């Protein structure tokens, strides 16, 4: 039995393995607990990838429905459960863009911003989101994936590597190049606005 | 190690500290002064990106999504394969409890009942609760028990706050949210099943004239009594044949109404008390525990509101409303076969090809404007 005590998604790995095992045996409450742990992270990742709240909601639901149906096929074998879940999300995002290729730009919705903020905060937040999302769209596909998994999904580098099927070293290099590229793009944007 | 690789490692280590340990950019730069010039702009850009991309799901979506997931789980549960070692009939569970009580002593289980998170008997307490849930025979009993367990979890959160065990606050809050989700789901399932039972109560009269009538008009006694003389023989037989089942259905329905009323009263009390207790805890809780408690308050308010609205609607329903309920419940037990597709591609298998294989059929997928609405068009979920 694995007695690792690494934290993963707010859980001890051992706790999570137990939950997964129970969920595989049909324990709904265990699956619900896994769902609660990853729901917000997955939603943030999907929104960051596709920039549309309603589509992101549908897709987040689909991820969990697919996960529930196929959880019996999940085997630990060094692949964290989080990586397995995000892999499902990644595949759905890829399919989404494949199907939506004729509509490349997705309008950002105002509803991405919490409605209880005041008007000025809403406007500022919306501008920030638009600016960063526009910048991420200029990254390569792999860079964008790293940024979304790491900063929106909140995955550790090892988990990102598992989701993307790359080595940790390759992901760290992608992370570096992605942040550097984002900085350049955001600075150009700021200077452009000022100029 | 090449210089690039070394820098990538340092950048990642700093990011990990910023993202998970709450360290500041300045603290990271102090660790690596020789790389500070190069690190600082990257770390600041990363933090802006992280902050901007932290877009939270709305409370409404959370509640709606939870409801839909539970519906999906209900549909799939029947077909789920269970390894022989983990499957136990009820009597085995009872025997297991008796064994535990005999071996550990009844006092252990009783003592465990008042144990708190982090104490040695807390595991026994949770195990005992699971056994109680397993032994609960009906959805109503289970829903009541989940509401009671939610009460226990709130007491445990209070304890964890008092003792400064913040990790426990988060863990117990998650358990509380699960109990509320299960309570809500089971209460709504009670409503659905009983509505279906009410609709099935009328005799399945084969007469075409009777068939043409809306379901709500085909009450068995009336349909038999009102038949024209030419068809008297068959409907009379039908009425005799069906008197038993229909009387039984009526009596079952009466029992269901009683159960529902009882559930409504109990949940009505919890709906007031539990959010209030959580709000009181929010005032005592340290800053880091507040988001979890705030979320629990929102879930608790939304769950009870939805369930009580549904239960109240159900008690106020006139027969004319039944069609609405029939539409609402149509997806549930009757459509259980709709997702037999257990052959989903193992999702970790690289690119998905959902058009060709694994995906559930279109009707089964969650779409906005269709199944993303939790309960037909009533908009009861807020």
Question: What pLDDT is stored for residue A144 in this prediction?
Answer: 93
pLDDT average, residue stretch B182-196: 68
* A:24-43 residues touching chain B, CB 8 A cutoff: 25-26, 28-29, 31-33, 35-37, 39-40, 43
User: Cα-atom radius of gyration of chain A, to the nearest Å?
Assistant: 18
Interface contact B365-A68, CB threshold 8 A? no
Fold of A1-107: Rna Polymerase Sigma Factor; Chain: A (1.10.1740)
* B:176-195 residues touching chain A, CB 8 A cutoff: 177-178, 181-182
Interface contact A132-B49, CB threshold 8 A? yes
Instruction: Say if residues A46 and A145 touch (Cβ distance below 8 Å).
Output: no
* B:156-175 residues touching chain A, CB 8 A cutoff: 170, 174-175
Interface contact B178-A129, CB threshold 8 A? no
Given a cut of 60, whether residue B198 has pLDDT beyond it is no
Q: Of the candidates A61, A91, A128, which has its C-beta nearest B65's C-beta?
A: A61
The Cα–Cα gap between A26 and B134 comes to: 13
Return all residues near A170 (Cβ < 8 A) that are at least 6 apart.
Answer: A161
User: Strands, DSSP E only, in B179-292?
Assistant: none
Given a cut of 70, whether residue B263 has pLDDT beyond it is yes
The predicted-structure confidence for B9-51, as pLDDT tens digits, reads as follows 999 999 999 988 888 999 999 999 999 999 999 999 999 999 8
Distances (CA, A) of B81 to A33, B43, B151, B344: 20, 48, 33, 15
Instruction: Say if residues B46 and B57 touch (Cβ distance below 8 Å).
Output: no
With contacts defined as CB-CB under 8 Å, which chain A residues touch B7?
176
The Cα–Cα gap between A152 and B150 comes to: 31
The minimum CA-CA distance between B65 and chain A, rounded to whole Å, is 6
With contacts defined as CB-CB under 8 Å, which chain B residues touch A175?
8, 11-12, 15
Interface contact A62-B366, CB threshold 8 A? yes
The count of CB pairs under 8 A between chains A and B is 183
The Cα–Cα gap between A148 and A47 comes to: 9
Given a cut of 50, whether residue B169 has pLDDT beyond it is yes
DSSP secondary structure letter of residue B355: T
Interface contact A95-B354, CB threshold 8 A? yes
* A:56-95 residues touching chain B, CB 8 A cutoff: 57-58, 60-62, 64-70, 72-74, 79, 83-84, 87-88, 91-92, 94-95
Return all residues near A147 (Cβ < 8 A) that are at least 6 apart.
Answer: A48, A136, A139, A175, A178, A179, A182, B49, B53
* DSSP percent split of chain B into helix, strand, coil, nearest 5: 75, 0, 25
Can you give the residue ranges of every domain in chain A? 1-107
With contacts defined as CB-CB under 8 Å, which chain A residues touch B73?
28, 31, 68
The predicted-structure confidence for B65-100, as pLDDT tens digits, reads as follows 888 888 888 776 545 444 444 445 555 555 655 665
With contacts defined as CB-CB under 8 Å, which chain A residues touch B339?
69
Of B218, B180, B212, B216, nearest to B195 by C-alpha is: B216
> H-type helices in B285-378, by residue range?
290-316, 322-329
Of B72, B345, B65, nearest to A91 by C-alpha is: B345
Given a cut of 90, whether residue B165 has pLDDT beyond it is no
pLDDT average, residue stretch B333-344: 33
Could you write out the DSSP letters of every residue in B127-192?
HHHHHHHHH--SHHHHHHHHHHHHHHHHHHHHHHHHTT-HHHHHHHHHHHHHHHHHHHHHHHHHHH
Question: What pLDDT is stored for residue A61 in this prediction?
Answer: 93
Q: Of the candidates B42, B66, B347, which has its C-beta nearest A179's C-beta?
A: B42
Of A30, A1, A27, nearest to A14 by C-alpha is: A1
Question: What pLDDT is stored for residue B234 in this prediction?
Answer: 41
Q: Of the candidates B53, B82, B358, which has its C-beta nearest A151's C-beta?
A: B53
Region at B264 (left for phi over 0; alpha for psi -120 to 50; beta for the rest): alpha
The Cα–Cα gap between A116 and B80 comes to: 42
Give the ipTM.
0.82
With contacts defined as CB-CB under 8 Å, which chain B residues touch A91?
347, 351-352, 354
The predicted-structure confidence for A56-113, as pLDDT tens digits, reads as follows 999 999 999 999 989 988 887 778 899 999 999 999 999 998 887 645 444 555 445 5
């Amino acid at each position: 039995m694995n007695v690792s005590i690494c934290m993963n998604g707010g859980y001890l790995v051992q706790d999570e393995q137990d939950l997964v095992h129970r969920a595989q045996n049909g324990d709904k409450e265990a699956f619900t607990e896994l769902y609660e742990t990853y729901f917000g992270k997955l939603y943030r990742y999907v929104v960051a990838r596709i920039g549309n709240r309603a589509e992101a909601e549908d897709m987040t639901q689909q991820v969990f429905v697919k996960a529930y149906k196929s959880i019996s096929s999940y085997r630990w074998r060094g692949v964290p459960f989080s990586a397995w879940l995000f892999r499902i999300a990644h595949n759905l995002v890829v399919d989404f863009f494949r199907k939506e290729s004729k509509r490349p730009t997705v309008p950002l919705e105002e509803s991405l911003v919490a409605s209880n903020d005041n008007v000025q905060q809403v406007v500022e937040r919306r501008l920030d989101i638009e600016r960063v999302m526009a910048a991420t769209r200029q990254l390569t596909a792999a860079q964008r994936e790293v940024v979304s998994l790491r900063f929106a999904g909140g995955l550790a580098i090892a988990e990102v590597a598992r989701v993307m099927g790359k080595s940790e070293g390759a992901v760290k290099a992608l992370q570096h190049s992605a942040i550097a590229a984002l900085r350049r793009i955001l600075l150009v944007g700021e200077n452009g606005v000022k100029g | 190690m090449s210089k690039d690789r070394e820098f990538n490692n340092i950048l990642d280590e700093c990011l990990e500290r910023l993202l998970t340990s709450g360290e500041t950019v300045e603290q990271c730069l102090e660790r690596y002064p020789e790389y500070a010039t190069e690190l600082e702009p990257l770390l600041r850009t990363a933090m802006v990106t992280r902050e901007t991309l932290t877009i939270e799901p709305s409370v409404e979506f959370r509640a709606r999504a939870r409801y839909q997931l539970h519906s999906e789980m209900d549909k799939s549960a029947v077909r789920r394969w269970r390894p022989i070692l983990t499957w136990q009939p009820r009597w085995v569970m009872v025997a297991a409890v008796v064994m535990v009580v005999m071996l550990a002593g009844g006092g252990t289980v009783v003592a465990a009942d008042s144990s708190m998170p982090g104490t040695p008997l807390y595991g026994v307490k949770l195990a005992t609760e699971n056994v109680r849930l397993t032994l609960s025979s009906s959805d109503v009993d289970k829903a009541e028990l989940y509401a009671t367990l939610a009460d226990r979890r709130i007491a445990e959160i209070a304890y964890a706050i008092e003792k400064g065990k913040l990790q426990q606050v988060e863990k117990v809050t998650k358990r509380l949210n699960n109990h509320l989700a299960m309570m809500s789901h089971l209460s709504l399932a009670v409503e659905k099943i009983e509505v279906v039972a009410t609709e099935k109560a009328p005799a399945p009269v084969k007469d075409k004239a009777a068939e043409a009538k809306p379901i709500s008009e085909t009450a068995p006694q009336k349909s038999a009594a009102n038949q024209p003389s030419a068809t008297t023989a068959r409907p009379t037989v039908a009425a005799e044949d069906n008197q038993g089942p229909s009387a039984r259905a009526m009596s079952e329905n009466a029992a269901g109404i009683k159960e529902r009323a009882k559930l409504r009263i109990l949940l009505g009390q919890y709906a007031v008390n539990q959010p209030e207790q959580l709000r009181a805890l929010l005032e005592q809780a340290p800053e880091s525990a507040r988001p979890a408690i705030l979320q629990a308050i929102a879930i608790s308010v939304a769950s009870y509101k939805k369930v009580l609205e549904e239960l109240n609607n159900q008690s106020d329903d006139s027969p004319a409303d039944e069609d609405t309920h029939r539409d609402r419940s149509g997806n549930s037990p009757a459509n259980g076969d709709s997702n037999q597709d257990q052959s989903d591609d193992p999702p970790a298998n690289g690119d998905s090809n959902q058009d060709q294989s694994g995906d559930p059929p279109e009707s089964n997928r969650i779409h906005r404007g269709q199944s993303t609405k939790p309960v037909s068009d009533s908009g009861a979920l807020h």
